[in-house]
Amino acid sequence: MPAPRGRDFEQTRKDLAVWLGAKLPEATDLELGPLSGPGLTGFSSDTFLFDASWREGERERREGLVVRLRPSGFPVFPAYDIAKQFHIQRALADTDVPTARMFWLEEDERFLGAPFYLMGRVDGRIPPDSPTYHQDGWLKQELAPQERADLWWSGLEALAAIHRVDWRARGLDFLRPDAPTPLDFQLDSYERMLRWAGGRPKPVLERAFAWLRAHQPRNEEPEVISWGDARIGNMIFDGTRCAAVLDWEMAGIASPELDLAWWIYIDRHHSEGAGAPRLEGLPDREATVARYEELTGHRVRHLDYYEVFGAVRFAVIMVRLAQQFDHYGLLPADSRFEVDNTASRLLATVLGIPVTELTGDDDG
């Protein structure tokens, strides 16, 4: 994940030390190591990793820690609820879901200039997004096909564990949207996000939303904790075992198939969408669905619909990422990336629409 722009790392380290010292009144000789970022795995939040050491009486303590802040600068999402992320992860602490240890939530902006929470660092590796793990990186270069399969299944088991959690018993009722169904809320949210982003006309996305409204499942669906950004690129792996589930900014209550479809679709984007062959050993769509049904007892009924929705969701997010890249001067002045990118092209493929319609240009 890119390091936060425009932030003074050394001053932030000093401010964190003051804040943490107040949280550890029995600590002496508190020291914080240099701040670093977790790598190029995302673009929507500000995250720092650091080591802290201190003494409690005669006992020496050392912790690897992570601070996650509400994003600064050009935002990807219209709203970013740090408190929601913290409370979800804390509620999952003693379940089968592998999560980091959550320490404190700080909603007072005067300490670091934005709300943040502190959690324990989990050792391991994250499959890369840029380039995707199908193109390069340790998953491709170092793992044998069976090890890749083991990693995929371990991640899917973590996803299934999220969906098995009784969210009402965990005090997560606040996640349930005030809407006829969670899907209604999701559709409304992403349409609003597209309007909020503005920019160039996006006829393919407009057609996609019309299709989603026309084909929306009308039967009652189960409501589970939806991770929202369910993919192996948001997991830390210790070898091939999922050690922690990360990045809960898109979480809510939804049909379990929203997450399962996203899991399958993002992997498709990272291979087909990125022009790379899918890695040998990774289980296919049918095997993944069958295993998910075994793990949860849920019979998957609307996966095709939610895969289209996944393609739409990612294309909308990519619009905003393109605008962020442009804002920071990372794109040429004549770039069409906002409307013509890997996500929008794969969406056109999913819908059977010529890619020429993305921009209206005859050459595509």
C-alpha distances (whole Å) from 44 to each of 92, 178, 226, 250, 323 are: 23, 25, 18, 11, 13
Distance (Å, whole) CA 301 – CA 287? 15
Choose the catalytic residue: 46, 129, 229, 340: 229
Question: What are the respective helix, strand and coil percentages of the chain, to the nearest 5?
Answer: 40, 15, 45
DSSP string, 246-277: ---TT-EEE-HHHHHHHHHHHHHIIIIITT-P
DSSP assignment of 216-247 equals: ---S----EEE-SS-SGGGEEEETTEEEEE--
Q: How far is residue 339's CA from residue 354's CA, in Å, rounded to a whole number? A: 13
> Are 64 and 49 contacting, i.e. CB atoms less than 8 angstroms apart?
yes
Q: Is 304 a catalytic residue?
A: no
Sheet of strand 28-32, all strands in order from the earlier edge strand to the far edge = 28-32, 46-56, 59-69, 116-120, 102-106
- Measured CA to CA, the distance from residue 75 to residue 139 in angstroms comes to 30
38 DSSP assignment: -
Other CB atoms within a 10 A radius of the CB of residue 16 amount to 21
Instruction: Give the catalytic positions in this structure.
Output: 229
